[in-house]
Amino acid sequence: MTQRFYVHPENPQLRLVRQAAQMLRDGAVIAYPTDSSYALGCHLGDADALRRLRQLRGVDDKHHLTLVCADLSELGKYARVDNRAFRLLKLATPGPYTFILEGTREVPKRLLHPKRATLGLRVPDHPVVQALLTELGEPILSATLIPPDEDVALNDPEAIAERMPASLGLILDAGQSPELATTVVDLTGDAPEVLRVGNGPLDRIGLG
């Protein structure tokens, strides 16, 4: 049965954040709020949790997963970032953007796109996520919470509770989040390529 923790959206209770972080370490897949809809998350080192996350999301290994990081300093450990990309990342973080980048050797191959060796990275601007990342001490492996065979992200914990199966370990309920998913930008080519326009405005990052 899915657990549900009610947390304050701006000052999340440390006791509940610690419990959520421990559930991630113990292999749970959780739903948590971000600055752009809710997301599914699991521990980046847990292969079984990764399998369940993909099942809950309804995607295979060709779907880019995202490492949700506390700040830009973590991005350099997991992705290859040149000066051009770094300047754009500084404009966009923290914020509702996901960037597709080449993974480093630090990233397990099961987390990377099988043909491109790429993954998504992002730094969200949300107190609950930041508190969870601080407590966990490492990025959360994540995907936008879009039910299988649908194309709209869920932003309401009530809808998540009604529509997601019991294999979801926890809903970290901080109330409704913004409706749109992140804006996704691929930085692996010669020029940035916008793959999805979402909650992050393009003019903020000079692509509008």
The 3-class SS string of 166-202 reads CCCCEEEECCCCCCCCCEEEECCCCCCEEEECCCCCH
| Res. 14: pLDDT tops 90 | yes
In this prediction, residue 208 carries a pLDDT of 75
Average pLDDT of the residues in 65-89 = 90
C-alpha separations of 193 from 49, 50, 113, 190 in Å? 30, 27, 17, 9
Percent pLDDT > 70 in the chain is 100
Strands (E), the chain: 3-6, 30-33, 38-43, 66-68, 97-102, 118-122, 140-144, 170-173, 183-186, 193-196
In this prediction, residue 184 carries a pLDDT of 95
Q: Which residue has the tokens 């793959």?
A: 195
pLDDT tens-digit series, residues 21-62: 999 999 999 999 999 999 999 999 999 999 999 999 999 888
Domains and CATH numbers, the chain: 3-134+182-198 (3.90.870.10)
* Pair 68, 133: CB distance under 8 Å: yes
* Pair 161, 4: CB distance under 8 Å: yes
pLDDT tens-digit series, residues 149-179: 888 899 999 999 999 998 999 999 999 999 8
In this prediction, residue 144 carries a pLDDT of 94
* Pair 120, 144: CB distance under 8 Å: no
pLDDT tens-digit series, residues 95-121: 999 999 999 988 888 888 888 899 999
Angle subtended by helix axes 14-25 and 127-136, to nearest 10: 60
Least Cα distance to 63 among 4, 119, 6, 7 occurs for 119
* Pair 199, 34: CB distance under 8 Å: no
In this prediction, residue 110 carries a pLDDT of 87
Average pLDDT of the residues in 119-143 = 96
Distance (Å, whole) CA 41 – CA 52: 10
pLDDT, averaged across the chain: 93
